[in-house]
Amino acid sequence: MKKPIVLVIMDGVGRGDGGPGDAVALARTPNLDRLFATCPFTWLKAHGDAVGLPTDDDMGNSEVGHNALGCGQIYAQGAKLVQESIEKGTLFTSKTWQALIANCKTGEHTMHFLGLLSDGNVHSNIHHLIALLRKAREENLHSVCVHILLDGRDVPSTSALEYVDQLETVLSELSDESHDYRIASGGGRMQITMDRYQANWGMVEAGWKTHVLGEGRQFATAREAIETYRSELKNVIDQDLPAFVIARDGVPVGRIENGDSVILFNFRGDRAQEISLAFEKKEFDKFDRSGYTGVKFAGMLEYDGDLKIPSHYLVEPPVIKNTLTEVLCAAGVREYAVSETQKYGHVTYFWNGNRSGKVNDNLETYEEVPSDIIPFEFAPKMKADEITQKMVNAMASHAYDFLRCNFPNGDMVGHTGVMEAVITAIEAVDEGLGKILRAADQYGYLVCVTADHGNADQMLETKKGVTSVRTAHSLNPVPFIIYDPGEAHAFKEGRFGLANVAPTLLKLMELPAPACWEPDMLK
């Protein structure tokens, strides 16, 4: 290697249209502007088939994005895997599905489906849920409950009722005098159940009380709950709606009782692991489960292959081999990775092909900066300063040959929909980038700058002539920039995606890439 290499991942920063919804363009970003003005760069596809998702209507996300960045290949991912399994019928012939169905056929136990209710195709897809429900009815299950988490993050921010109405229509079709298919509980995804990286177990506990214990404010229907909260909480978006319990005559219609069957129909792993542990782990100390002795539980996928979370799942995960870290460790390259809690798993677990442990403890060093438990719009700088300082310190140590970091701000603050906060977030990332570039000059590093998907670049959307706040990821391309003053680098003609980054890094390191990888981008 001529120089050690730093990779900066600006999470959620794509190429917007420069208009009033483009927080990246509206932010003051002198360092990023300088890179675009003086350095070779190209644009990468970060959604759809470029990251293994079914169609180009499917937004990329941080998990599949980091998988592609870290392995140089394109693997069929969550939504596509599940859809193929449903279409082929292999999901319904799996031992796990059959066991959970058999548990409910006697009529003593209820089948429960829990997950994010939308067609965002990032964590879940309502069409997968509907397929499971129809199959459950075909299997002649008499009692089925659905516990819904409201999105407003990967889909329009106040679209929940569209999905609730769609689900209620299906449940009505499946129900009769001897079959009761119903919504039992729900709430916004950022209020209950879907915490990640153990940043806020209180969210999971709140979900447990809602779904399992049936504790909380009661309503006759999910529609009534959503409409009531919207009238009481002005400008609230779906992800922030409080929890609710559906009840008849003051009695919850669908507590999750000991011995029932429970399927978490989310396919994305990061926000599924903690609730899975709450259902599965015998020795559990994160909160009081109030008399819980166990259910038959399964996830849609295996959410962590190394930690075996959960023990049972409906669809087999992709086996990602020949990752960049494996190649670098084989070559004796020393690696360093850092981010804060919200994206630490992305520069480690997902980067390494859904692998929790290290390939070589002697060659890899990871550092996690604990994230604050505070709404991101109130602290949009997040831990950018701390991440930057750790990266600069690692560069100064000269202990590593390849260093990577993730700044979560553009994604996490972008999801809030608060434009002023998102602009501040982007400026914080740019400030950190500037310090890393100065350290590169001082200590002799080549720096590559990219992103895993867009978000902050598209904060508004117009549908049917109405413009509203957008909190979902964008379909926009993301940059790949090479900062290496005094050296000539040029990109090939062509269209590239995130999977082309790893082979390009290897070419910069003058190391050969595995034959199964995508091509590099350099002439």
Among all residues, which ones are annotated catalytic? 62
Rounded to 5°, angle at Cα 12 from 10 and 14: 90
The Cβ-side half-sphere exposure at 127, using a 13 Å CA radius, reads 12
DSSP, collapsed to helix, strand or coil, labels residue 67 as: helix
Q: How many Å separate Cα 130 from the centre of its chain?
A: 22
End-to-end Cα spacing for the chain: 18
Which residue in 107, 104, 111 sits closest to 256, CA to CA?
A: 111
Strand 296-299, strand 446-450: pairing: unpaired
* DSSP symbols for 325-352: HHHHHHTT--EEEEEEHHHHHIIIIITT
CA-to-CA distance for 222 and 479, rounded, in angstroms? Answer: 42
Max CA pair span of the chain: 77
CA-to-CA distance for 222 and 210, rounded, in angstroms? Answer: 13
Q: Which two tokens stand for residue 406?
A: 């993730």
Whether the bond between 370 and the residue before it is cis, its omega within 30 degrees of 0, is no
Is residue 302 within 8 A of residue 317, CB to CB? The reply is yes
Strand 466-469, strand 460-463: pairing: antiparallel
Q: Which helix (H) or strand (E) holds 136?
A: helix 126-138
CA-to-CA distance for 423 and 426, rounded, in angstroms? Answer: 5
DSSP, collapsed to helix, strand or coil, labels residue 142 as: coil
Is residue 31 within 8 A of residue 24, CB to CB? The reply is no
Neighbours of 461 (CB within 10 A): 16
CA-to-CA distance for 174 and 180, rounded, in angstroms? Answer: 8
Buried b / exposed e over 52-88, threshold 16 CB at 10 Å, is bbbeeebbbbbbbbbbbbbbbbbbebbbbbbbebbee
Measured CA distances, 154 to 43, 132, 279, 415, 454 (Å): 23, 22, 26, 9, 12
Q: Which helix (H) or strand (E) holds 461?
A: strand 460-463
CA-to-CA distance for 138 and 205, rounded, in angstroms? Answer: 33
